[in-house]
Amino acid sequence: MKKPISRILGVLSLLLGTILILTGLSPLWQASPPPPEPTPSVSAEVPVTPTSELLDNFAPDTAVGELDRDVTASDADLNQRSVHLALGFATGGFGQDPVAQRAMSEIGQQFLSHLLVPGDTISMFGFEKKLGPAVWNLPFSSQSGPQIATLWGQLKPGEGGSDYNEAILNSLPNLHPQENHNTVLVLISPWDASQSASTDKVPPKFADLNSTVLQQYGLKRMPPFKITYHQKSGDLTRTVYLTFVLPTHFTSERLDLDRHVCLAKTTSNSPQLIPGAAAIPAGQEQVAEEAPHTNKPLVGIGFLLLILGVIFLLLPASSISKITLGIGSGSQDFYGPWRVGEEICRIVGGGLPVENGKRALQVSSAPPVVLAEIVQGASGPAVRSEHLITADGGQSGQSGYVLRKGPLQIVKIEGKSIPQAGLPPVPFSVSLEVTLS
């Protein structure tokens, strides 16, 4: 039931904010000198991959197509499902080989400009023998640009070489592939070998990673994908190699808008990895100078009141701020509110350590694996799992099983766990008596 005081405060804030904004902007429509002659319009789209004088016949867009094919092979439709893209750049040659750096940056730019849309997640890092500067699990949007562009400027050559194997193994704990199952790791390097200082003369080929490690994360590694181009200076044929590590079974949230439609409707405002590319579209810098006589403090206060008005009006309709979740004989309170898709807590087996900051309920009789997650869905809290969920006598879909308030619900989770490295997976079946109040 809505509280009258919140509605009154909301309406008053909206009215007063509107009046202050109109008053502050009033000089814009008062009498003014004739406008200057119109200038040709400038496109708001920043050039995505300006051609380097040193590169010829270079087609970095094939990288996006190869990723799409590999994900499709995992029974996923990348056009409709979100993706967590983790780009790793081998920085060992950045100092001595600007042509290779340029080629790698153009490939990375293709992923940012022609693949990612709001709803996706981006991680990015440099690597040599160890991981370099990085950003992890950043929601991709227009606000993520400065952070990614700043990181690109921090990728400097260090000890040299490019140890693919260590880069994969060391990056996985930061990417949470067990939670998302839509994490695609892309390593970009001029070499098709895993290098180190002690074996520079005869670099070992990319070793087959411990399959048990990848299985524990539900991942697989694809063979290196090669892009060939011609370097005009020196008349050389050059290559860039991409190594994809992606889920065996790709699952993720559905995008609000199909990827191709979203890319076609938006201009490119993705962070720029191309050296010398403009960070802000031409002409945008003039916006603040075109209204020099407006009352900016008054306008600012007006916008603040508008925001407060919206908050007051939405307060009574906010999402559930507390749920009590019972598993068997035990129960625990969890406090929100939560956004749609946000994790409320997770259900784990006995003996599995809980990550710092994560809220969890433990089932001592279950194996030490993450059994399921309780997430805020559009219709209420829902159970989501990488394992098979059966509830109400039927199997749930990819979006999970929506919990009901009140009566006891039997949620059955079936899957396989790896009791010890090197041993075969062991099937398990856990029945949870769940109550939600």
Residue 283, pLDDT score: 33
pLDDT in tens, 104-151: 888 888 898 889 999 999 999 999 888 989 999 999 987 788 888 888
Is residue 5 classed as helix, strand or coil in its secondary structure? Answer: helix
Is residue 41 over pLDDT 50?
Answer: no
Residue range 89-102: average pLDDT? 84
What is the rounded CA–CA span in Å between residue 66 and residue 107?
Answer: 12
Is residue 321 over pLDDT 70?
Answer: no
Identify the residue with better confidence: 26 or 163: 163
Is residue 355 over pLDDT 60?
Answer: yes
Residue 83, pLDDT score: 92
Is residue 179 classed as helix, strand or coil in its secondary structure? Answer: helix
Residue 269, pLDDT score: 57
Q: Give the pTM.
A: 0.51
Cβ distance 107 to 188 under 8 Å?
A: yes
pLDDT in tens, 125-136: 999 888 989 999
Give the pLDDT band (50/70/90) at residue 262. Answer: confident
Mean of the per-residue pLDDT values of the chain: 75
Residue 3, pLDDT score: 45
- The boundaries of every CATH 2.60.200 domain in the chain are 322-436
Residue range 322-436 forms a domain whose CATH class is: mainly beta
Residue 47, pLDDT score: 31
Identify the residue with better confidence: 9 or 426: 426
Is residue 372 over pLDDT 60?
Answer: yes
Give the pLDDT band (50/70/90) at residue 42. Answer: very low
Is residue 40 classed as helix, strand or coil in its secondary structure? Answer: coil
Residue 122, pLDDT score: 93
Cβ distance 49 to 109 under 8 Å?
A: yes
Alpha-carbon torsion angle 182, 183, 184, 190, nearest 10: 170
Give the pLDDT band (50/70/90) at residue 36. Answer: very low
Residue 267, pLDDT score: 52
Is residue 275 over pLDDT 70?
Answer: no
Identify the residue with better confidence: 384 or 298: 384
What totals of helices (H) and strands (E) does the chain contain, helices first?
9, 19
Residue range 240-264: average pLDDT? 87
Is residue 419 over pLDDT 80?
Answer: no
Q: What percent of the chain has pLDDT above 70? A: 74
> What is the three-state SS of 210-247?
CHHHHHHHCEEECCCEEEEEEECCCCEEEEEEEEEEEE
User: Which of 144-153, 396-405, 407-416 shows the lowest per-residue confidence on average (mean pLDDT)?
Assistant: 396-405
Residue 199, pLDDT score: 45
Burial 140-177 (b: 16+ CB within 10 A, else e): beeebbeebeebbeebebbebbbbbebbbeebbeebbb
Residue 173, pLDDT score: 85
Identify the residue with better confidence: 122 or 322: 122
